[in-house]
Structure 1
Amino acid sequence: MTPRLREWLEALGEAFWLRPALVVAGCVLLGEAAVLAERVGATPDWLPESWLYAGGASGARELLSAVASSSIGVAGTTFSITVAALTLASGQMGPRLLRNFVRDAGNQLALGVFLGAFAYSLVVLRAVRSADEGLFVPAFGVTGALLLALLCVGTLVWFVHHIASGINVETVIELVHEDLSAAVSRLTLDRPDPAAPPGGPPCGAVPVVCRKSGYLRALDDGALADWAAEQGATVVLLVRPGDYIQPGSPVAEVSPAAQEGAAEEAVAGALSLGPRQAATQDLEFAVRQLVEVAVRALSPGVNDPFTAIMVLDRLGAALCEVAPRHLQGDAVLRDGRAVLRRRRIIDYDGLCDAMFHMIRQNAVGSPAVLIHLLQTLARAATVETRPERRAALRRHADLALEAGRGGTGDPATLAALEARHRDVRTVVA
C-alpha cells in the first residue's frame, strides 16, 4: 500500500459522517426491499405469522411515525452526549486526542443506527395506503421498523456505557498506546536499510521549494526515488513527515541543476500536505499524544502524577518493542546508487527525546514521576542490546537525576533517585 493511499484511508477513518451515511443508505435500501417484497408477495415464509404486524393502515402509520420521531430524537441526544464527551476530553487530555474520539467506529455506528431507523421508517411509511387509497400495509416492513426500534434501545444502552468508558483516562492511554504499537510495527524494519555508498550528494544542488503550506502527512519516497533513478539525479530531502512546511520554503535539493524544473513537479507529487499531523509515516505522532496527556496531568491545575506514571509505562513498552527492530535509514538506493537521501530522519535519540524531555521538564516538582522515569529507562535498557541506544537511555537517566536534584531537597527522595539511577548505570555498563 502506497503512503498516499494509506494517508487517504486514514483521512476517511477520521470522517465522522462516513459510517453513519453508509448505515443510513443501507437502511433506505432495506426499507425499499421490504416494501417491494410485500408488493410481489416474496416475504420470507419461515417467519411465523404471529411475528408479523397484523394491524391496519392507521396503526401502521402511528407505529412508523413513533419509531421515526423517537429515533431522530435519540440521535440528537447521542450527538449531544458525543459533543459533551469531546469537550471533556479536550479539556482534560488535550485537543489532539479528539481525533481518537472522532474516528471511533462505535460512536459513528451508534449514530448511524438511530439515523438509519429514522430513514427506514420514513421509507416504509410513505408506502402505507388506507382503504380509500387502495389498501396496502407492508406488514413485513412495519415489523422491521419495530425490530429496528428494539435495536435502537440496545444501542442507546451500549452507547452510554461506551462513552463513559471511552473518556476514562486509562482507556484513552491504552488506545493511544495501541496506535503507537501499530506505528512501531509499520514504520520500523526487520532488517536495517542498505548502507549508502561512501561520498555525499553531487555538488551544485539546486533547492526545490514547495508552493503550499501545511503539515507533511505522507511522503511517497519510493516514487520519488524511482523518478530520480530514471532521471539520473540525486534528491536530498530536507523535511520529514510531521514537519510544517511554509510556502516557498525549500523541501529538497536536487542535482544536477538541469533537473530543477521537473524536480519541483516530482517532489510536489510525492508530498501530501494537510491541516493536521497524521500517524501515517510519523512515528512520533502517537508519542506526542501520550506525552501531552502526561504533561497536562503534571500541570499545577491537575497535579495527577499517577496518569503520568501510566504514560511512562506505555512509553517504556514502546521502547521495548523498538529494541529488536531498525529505524529507517538515511538513503534510498537504486542499482547500488543513493538516489534519495534524507537530511532529517527519526533516530533512536530523537525518539527518546520526544518521549522524555517534556515529561522530565514538567516533573521537576514531582519526584515520584522522576523515580518512575528512571525505572522505565532501566527496564528498557535491560531489553536493548545496542550500545549506542543504551547510551541514549543513560543520557536521559542523567538528565532525570539532575532534574530531581534541582527540584527536591528531601534526602530520602534524593537517595531513591540515586538508587534508581545506579540501576540504569549498572544495566548500561
Structure 2
Amino acid sequence: MRMKSLVTLNGLLGVPGAIAIGLWVLAIPLVWLDARFPIVGDPLPFWLAISTDTARSLLATIATAAITTLGLVYSIMLVVFTLAAGNIAPRLLQRFSRDRVNQITAGLLGGTFLYSLSILRATGPDFRPEMSVALAFLLAAISVLQVIHFVHSVSQSVTIDAEVATISEQLERQINRLLVETGADTEDFKEESLETAIKAERSGYVTLIDEAALLKLARQHETYISVQVAPGDFVLSGQTLAMAGFSEDKEKASGSVSRAISLEPYRGAVDDIRFSIRILLEIALRALSPGVNDSFTAIACADRIAAALVKPVSEGLRGDVRCDEDGVARLKVPGLSLNDLLNMSLHPLRQAARGNVMMLDHLGVVLNSLYSVAGPDARKLIAAHGKVLLETASAGDPLSSDLDFLHRRLDFAVDD
C-alpha cells in the first residue's frame, strides 16, 4: 500500500492539499502577531497602510478571485487531459497529475482562498491585521504569476515532441540505474538454500521493488532472498513473489518481503522501465496508424528511445545479483537484459513500419548510430536487428533503389 499512498500524495490531492492547508494554518500565527503587537498610530508606509473597510473589501476580492481561478485551472487541466488522452496517449494522464506546476498552482490558489477567508473573518471594527492583509496581497500577486506559468506549462503539455522528450529523459534515468556495477557474480549467490516461498496476497502489477529494504532484511537474517518477479509483471494471487532462507520469525520476515514488493491494480511509471518504453511505443504506433499517418512523430520516438539505449549498448547492464554493505551477495532481482531492451523497443517499431519507407530508413539510421557506439556483444545484437529490418523492408515490395540505399546504410548487418 506504500506505493498507492505515494501515488496519491504525488497526485492532484496530496501536494495541493498540503500547500493549501499550510497557507491556511499560516493565518493563525500572523493574526496572533498582529493582535499581540498592534501598530499604534499609522507608522506603516502609505502602500501598506489600509483602512478596515478597504481591508475587508480587498480580502473578499482576493478570496473570490482565488476560488474562481482555481475552478478555471481544474477545468483547463481536464481539457488538457482529454486532448492528451485522445491525441498522444491515455497513459500520460498519470504523469500529468504528478506535474509540479499543476500541483503548486492548485495548492497556491486554494491556500490563498483559505488564508484570505480566515483573515477576513478576523478583521473587524476593533481589529485591523495590516501585516496579515499585506501578506494576502502578496499571495494574490504570486498567484497571478503562477497562473501565467501554469498556462505556459499547459501549452507545452499538448506538444507531442516536448512530451516525448520528457518521457525519454525519465526512461534514461530509469535505465541508467541498471548500469551500476555491483561487484557480484551469479555464482556468489547461494540459491540452493532458499526454502521459504513468499506468495502474493492479491493480484496486481509489480510497481516497485525496494531493493534496499530487501538487502537490509537479508543481512539481518544472514540469509539470501531471490525475487521471482520484476517491475511491470502482472502477479496472480498466490503466485510466488520471492524465495528466502529464513530460519526464524518466518511470518514476520515474509511479511516484510511482501511489503517491499508493491502490487497495484494498474501500472505505474515510478520504477518501471517497461511502462516508459510502452508509452513511447504507444505514441509511435498511434502515429504510424493509417488514421493518424504522422511518421515524423514516430521518428521522434525512435530517436528518443535510441538516446536512452546509448549507455546500455556502450557500457552494458548490471547483473541480477545485489550485494550488502559488506560486499556479500544477498539479493537476486530479475532485471532486463540488453537483448530484452532492444527487442522490446525495436521490434514493434519495425513491425508497424512495414511499407513505410521513411520510417524504415530512419530505423536504419537509429541502428547505425547505436552500432557506432556499441560494445562487441551489443554489436552482434544490433546487427541481428539490422538483418531483420532488411527482411521487413524487402517484404514490403519497395523500390530497388530504396532497398539498395537501406542495404548501404546497414552495411554492418550485411557484412556480419
In structure 2, the partner of 1:37 is 33
SS state at 1:272 partner: strand
Aligned to 2:172: 181
Seen in structure 2, the aligned counterparts of structure 1 residues 188 and 260 have a Cα distance that, compared at 3 Å, is same
Return closer, same or farther for 1:193/1:415 CA change in 2, 3 Å cut-off.
same
Equivalent of residue 88 in structure 2, options 65, 89, 93: 93
Is 2:32 the partner of 1:27?
A: no
Q: Displacement of 1:89 after TM fit?
A: 0.7
Alignment of 1:258-269 (within 5 A): 264-265=254-255, 267-269=257-259
Pick which of 102-111 and 135-144 moved more: 135-144
1:346 matched to which residue of 2? 336
1:72 match: 67
Secondary structure at the counterpart of residue 392 of structure 1:
helix
Percent identical residues:
30
Aligned to 2:13: 17
Are 2:207 and 1:217 equivalent residues in the alignment?
yes
Counterpart of 2:161? Answer: 170
Provide the rounded CA distance (Å) in 1 between the counterparts of 2:213 and 2:50.
64
Match of 1:115 in 2: 110
Q: Does 1:419 align with 2:408?
A: yes
Q: Tell me which residue corresponds to 2:230.
A: 240
More divergent stretch after superposition (272-281 vs 260-269): 260-269
Match of 2:374 among 379, 384, 396: 384
Query: Would the aligned equivalents of 1:237 and 1:341 in 2 still touch at CA under 8 Å?
Result: yes
Q: Aligned pair in 2 of structure 1 residues 389, 9: CA closer, same or farther (>3 Å)?
A: farther
Q: Deviations over 1:120-177 (max 9, x none)?
A: 11011001113xxxx2222332233233333333222222221011221111111111
How many Å separate the matches in 2 of 1:394 and 1:328?
22
Distance 1:30 1:354, change over 3 A: same
Change (3 A) 1:40 1:425: farther
Report the residue type matching 2:290 in the other structure: P
- CA distance 1:60–1:164, shift in 2 (3 Å): same
Output the CA distance in 2 between the equivalents of 1:114 and 1:226: 43
Which amino acid in the other structure matches residue 171 of structure 1? A
Q: Distance in 2 between matches of 1:150 and 1:345?
A: 49
Give the secondary structure class of the aligned counterpart of 1:54. coil
CA shift in 2, pair 1:204/1:70, >3 Å: closer
Shift in alpha-carbon separation, 1:148–1:227, aligned structure 2, 3 A: closer
Deviates most, 404-413 or 193-202 = 193-202
1:307 aligned onto 2:297: yes
- The question of whether the paired residues in 1 share the 8 Å contact of 2:194 and 2:224 is answered with no
Mean Cα deviation higher: 292-301 or 136-145? 136-145
Decide whether aligned partners of structure 1 residues 101 and 227 sit closer, same or farther in structure 2, where only a CA change above 3 A counts: closer
Shift of residue 379 of structure 1? 0.7
Cα offsets for 1:250-278 (capped at 9, x unmatched): 33345799998777545424322122333
Contact 2:285 2:349 (C-alpha < 8 Å) held by counterparts: yes
Q: Partners in 1 of 2:47 and 2:208 — Cα distance?
A: 54
| Alpha-carbon distance in structure 1 between the residues aligned to 2:374 and 2:308 | 12
Shift of 1:383: 0.9
Of 142, 146, 155, 2:146 maps to: 155
**How far is the alpha carbon of 1:59 from its aligned partner?**
2.9
Distance 1:29 1:291, change over 3 A: same
Q: What amino acid is aligned across from residue 388 of structure 1 in structure 2?
A: D
AA aligned opposite 2:153 = H
Q: Distance in 2 between matches of 1:296 and 1:309?
A: 12
Structure 2 equivalent of residue 140 of structure 1: 131
**Contact 2:207–2:263 (8 Å) recurs in 1:** yes
* Mapping for residues 277-288 of structure 1, pairs under 5 Å: 277-288=267-278
* Superposition pairs of residues 360-371 of structure 1, within 5 angstroms: 360-371=350-361
TM-score, structure 1 normalization: 0.85
Name the residue aligned to 1:50. 46
Report how many residues are paired: 415
Alignment partners' CA distance in 2, 1:186 and 1:402: 34
1:343-365 Cα offsets, whole Å, 9 max, x none, are x4310000111211211121113
Instruction: Tell me, yes or no, if the aligned pair for 2:198 and 2:258 is still in contact at 8 Å.
Output: no
Q: Secondary structure at the match of 1:50?
A: coil
Q: For the residues of structure 1 that align with 2:385 and 2:248, how far apart are their CA atoms?
A: 46
C-alpha distance 35-303 of structure 1, shift in aligned 2 (>3 A) = same
Deviation at 1:34, TM superposition (A): 3.4
Using the alignment, how far apart are the partners of 1:44 and 1:324 within structure 2? 72
Q: Deviations over 1:396-417 (max 9, x none)?
A: 1122222222224323332232
Checking the alignment, whether the CA contact within 8 Å between 1:364 and 1:370 is kept in structure 2 is: yes
Match of 1:397 in 2: 386
Give the drift of 1:223: 4.6
Post-superposition shift, 1:103? 0.8
State the 1:245 CA deviation. 0.7
> In 2, distance between residues paired with 1:236 and 1:82?
43
Distance 1:307 1:42, change over 3 A: farther
RMSD: 3.3
8 Å Cα contact 2:11-2:103 kept in structure 1: no
Cα 1:86/1:113, change in 2 over 3 Å: same
